[in-house]
Structure 1
Amino acid sequence: MDPRTPSRRSVLRSGAALAALALIEGCSSDGGEEPAGAAEASAPAASPAVPSASAAGWAMPAESSPHTRTFMAWPALEEVWGDQLPAVRQDIAGLARAIAGYEPVVLMARPEQAAEARQQVGSTVEVLELPVDDLWARDSGPTFVTGPGGLAGVDLNFNGWGNKQTHTEDSQVARRLLEHYTITRIQAPVTGEGGGLEVDGEGTLMATESSWVNGNRNPGKSRDQIEASLKELLGVSKVLWIKGVAGQDITDCHIDALARFAEPGTVVLHRPGADTPPDVWTTASDQALEVLRSATDAKGRTLRIVELTEPDPDRIQGYGKDFLATYLNYYVVNGGVIVPRFGDRAADDKAAAVIAELHPGRKVTQVSINTIASGGGGIHCATQQQPAAGAS
């Protein structure tokens, strides 16, 4: 990738990105003052007359619950991927085919790019002609909740991770997708992304303050206000907040690259290698470990923490400063788990074995995603599940 090209872990240094950084510097968990006009620029449109998930008896199910399908998106823009666009499309095609071995996959693609997408993914993947900008369906797509009356999708008002990347089409993906499938839409009173949410399916949510209590998404809102909105939207009763890292990657440190629920009461935590020099990312992992060790979930359980060490960067082809080298960004599908393979054979096999043990009865499939990872994302970032109605 051209070093001048923005990626998921590179904060853009011009235009809207500078404004976003200014907002980050003024953001705190107590909802400090924001620059004039910030609220107007980032505030979501008025919500339609649809009840919140909590009021309707809906809740966000665990990823391990049964899926109807997986949504993905075909990367569209050379301005984002530069000369790596063909390679990242190959990664997405390979990932889509792997998931299609377990459950239906719907790949969103711009109408003028749909033919190429169909050719690359083959007949096992459905291509839906729907305009997108980039591949990060976890963030641009809806977050689903289920319960009495079936299924609803929460539109989190995707704004390009705080206006850091082009999102003209991606900002409309959640609405358009829900309209296409005639699924009830709940427009959130907060702005964020699906990668910033991790639930156990039994009332507990994990999230980072850096990606939610942040002026580039929710100017003027305190952590307590955002927490109240997330509880209503997702039907959860307890939020475990981890500090995270603001302003160092395009997501502001999403939880799905740091800590995940393997099952209720068990959290998998990303850990740096033993020889990794201290930096903001090792500090974030250490802080998450400290918080989770002393935390209890919505059911009052002390958490079991399983540490998953990152691969050796010296053994990874294409590794660069923006590479997301974490095994945490795996994806649970019907009957299986899709796990990244980076090229450090010993670390890849160890991670696959740990994840298999954490998800008994599911087949582990390893998929090479180094071009996706070079853009600062992973398998989980590139996928969004539609749970079966009534899943829990």
Structure 2
Amino acid sequence: MNDHIAGRHARRGLNRRGFLAAAGLTATVAAVATTTQGWAGSAKAAGTFKAPAEDVRHTRTWMAWPDRTAIWGSDLSGVQANIALIARTIAKYEPVVMCANSVSASKARSMCGSTVTVISSIPVDDCWMRDTGPVFRTDGSGGLDAVGLGFNGWGNKQTHAKDALVAERIAAYAGAPFTYADLVGEGGAIEQDGNGTLIATRSSLVNRNRNPGMSQSALETAMCDAYGATEVIWFDGVKGQDITDDHVDATSRFLAAGKALVQMPIASDNDAFAKDARQQYQILSTSKTANGTAMNVAKLQGPDYDKIRSTNQNFLASYANYYLCNGAVISAHFGDTTADQAAKATLARLYPDRAIEQLNIDSLGTGGGGIHCVTQQQPAA
């Protein structure tokens, strides 16, 4: 693959959204880094609670409204329109609560419409609710609680003084008991099947920018405590080539206990992320769940980056980064018509009882993320 294509396949490149130039980054990072180290290890998750699979019924979806020009540039119209479109689409199927800063709450209400609830009591730095929001858990007996993963701006790469508090504040709003996990990470870094098995990349978590001096074994214990799981399937991932250090939810997802999918690159793609995707498929295909069941792994064909609408070097074209809400799958299309249609057909086959909604979220993709990245489900207890 030539350098031009490799660059376009870089996904969430290190210069995405100019995060290193974010106003007040150094001072904010120093303050929040100290705080997050105090959070890690402050509490272990109760053994009776676990994070359910994402396809369970939801009470609501949580989202966040982007309004920082220091992060997104002077023109916020594209990303805000994408966030509003996602929120309105999900709101056709379940309630959506949008967290917005007080200065931009009115605009968020105007763009999202009456079907989306916008609140200004939980301030935010950015829109990546999958990473900043809490991991909600249920106990199977009507109980609900929440766990925070100590968000530190993907290893102190972006200002996050407000986002570091989002998980705890959402839990309080929802009336859910809250604890911090014994690790620092993000929701997009860990996928759960709701039945004891997790998947994750070492590049995101076994990383000194999140968990300095912490062994993989210690991380496994902390992850399992937080999610109510017993088994972690690891992928190597790709370190240092995107702001997340290769979140798993852009490539591999659980469909159900013992079932997963992996978005595969086209045959001519051979960059680090393409190799990583093929390795994830190989590892999953030869792995077993926490219950000893062999994994059944489906393929979701990714698009040809030469045929998508965006020419941005850091664009993320991930069909796998879809969101499950009550009765629907909310996914994306990118302009490679053949691949877009095939992805929709694959998702319809994998989720036969759900409507498949495909949205144009190119501005969000230019920022290096997708629909799953900006949503966080609150499961029904």
Relative to the length of structure 2, the TM-score reads: 0.90
Offset of residue 383 of structure 1? 0.2
Tell me the equivalent position of 2:145: 152
Contact 1:53 1:234 (C-alpha < 8 Å) held by counterparts: no
Corresponding residue to 1:119 among 103, 110, 126: 110
State how 1:220-235 maps to structure 2 within 5 Å: 220-235=213-228
Query: Which residue identity does 1:375 align to in structure 2?
Result: G
Does 2:9 correspond to 1:10?
no
* Distance of aligned partners of 1:79 and 1:8 in 2 relative to their CA distance in 1, 3 Å threshold: farther
Task: State the Cα deviation string for residues 198-256 of structure 1 (Å, max 9, x = none).
Answer: 11111111111111100000000000000001111111011101110110000010110
* Distance of aligned partners of 1:331 and 1:112 in 2 relative to their CA distance in 1, 3 Å threshold: same
CA distance in 1, matches of 2:71, 2:80: 13
Tell me the equivalent position of 1:23: none
Aligned residue for 2:309, secondary structure, equals coil
Tell me the equivalent position of 1:211: 204
CA distance in 2, matches of 1:220, 1:101: 45
Offset of residue 307 of structure 1? 1.4
Q: How many pairs align? A: 358
Offset of residue 40 of structure 1? 6.1
CA distance in 2, matches of 1:77, 1:101: 28
Does 2:302 correspond to 1:298?
no
Query: Which residue identity does 2:271 align to in structure 1?
Result: D
Contact 1:338 1:364 (C-alpha < 8 Å) held by counterparts: yes
Corresponding residue to 1:88 among 79, 88, 95: 79
Aligned residue for 1:315, secondary structure, equals coil
Tell me the equivalent position of 1:308: 300
Task: State the Cα deviation string for residues 110-141 of structure 1 (Å, max 9, x = none).
Answer: 01100000000000000011211111000011
Contact 2:235 2:283 (C-alpha < 8 Å) held by counterparts: yes
Structure 1 alignment gaps of length 5 or more: 1-6, 21-38
CA distance in 1, matches of 2:13, 2:380: 33
CA distance in 1, matches of 2:39, 2:52: 26
CA distance in 1, matches of 2:266, 2:255: 21
CA distance in 2, matches of 1:143, 1:350: 32
Does 2:373 correspond to 1:381?
yes
Does 2:312 correspond to 1:328?
no
Between the aligned residues of both structures, percent identity stands at: 45
Corresponding residue to 1:101 among 70, 92, 106: 92
CA distance in 2, matches of 1:90, 1:189: 36
Query: Which residue identity does 1:126 align to in structure 2?
Result: T
Contact 2:309 2:336 (C-alpha < 8 Å) held by counterparts: no
Contact 2:44 2:180 (C-alpha < 8 Å) held by counterparts: no
Structure 2 alignment gaps of length 5 or more: 1-10, 27-32
CA distance in 2, matches of 1:343, 1:84: 23
CA distance in 1, matches of 2:250, 2:272: 14
Contact 1:42 1:217 (C-alpha < 8 Å) held by counterparts: no
Contact 1:342 1:348 (C-alpha < 8 Å) held by counterparts: yes
Tell me the equivalent position of 1:357: 349
* Distance of aligned partners of 1:224 and 1:78 in 2 relative to their CA distance in 1, 3 Å threshold: same
CA distance in 2, matches of 1:227, 1:141: 21
Contact 2:19 2:158 (C-alpha < 8 Å) held by counterparts: no
Q: Which moved more, 1:246-255 or 1:304-313?
A: 304-313
CA distance in 2, matches of 1:215, 1:203: 26
Contact 1:44 1:189 (C-alpha < 8 Å) held by counterparts: no
* Distance of aligned partners of 1:378 and 1:128 in 2 relative to their CA distance in 1, 3 Å threshold: same
Tell me the equivalent position of 2:244: 251
Offset of residue 105 of structure 1? 0.3
CA distance in 2, matches of 1:197, 1:13: 23
Offset of residue 42 of structure 1? 5.7
Contact 2:44 2:226 (C-alpha < 8 Å) held by counterparts: no
Tell me the equivalent position of 2:50: 59
Query: Which residue identity does 1:328 align to in structure 2?
Result: A
CA distance in 1, matches of 2:190, 2:136: 11
Tell me the equivalent position of 1:337: 329
Alpha-carbon RMSD: 2.0
Does 2:37 correspond to 1:43?
yes
Task: State the Cα deviation string for residues 32-84 of structure 1 (Å, max 9, x = none).
Answer: xxxxxxx9686243666x65132xx0001000001000000000210111134
CA distance in 1, matches of 2:308, 2:21: 33
Relative to the length of structure 1, the TM-score reads: 0.87
Contact 1:197 1:207 (C-alpha < 8 Å) held by counterparts: yes
CA distance in 2, matches of 1:239, 1:358: 24
Task: State the Cα deviation string for residues 167-204 of structure 1 (Å, max 9, x = none).
Answer: 11111111111122221101112100000111111111
Tell me the equivalent position of 1:187: 180
Contact 1:319 1:374 (C-alpha < 8 Å) held by counterparts: no
Aligned residue for 2:39, secondary structure, equals coil
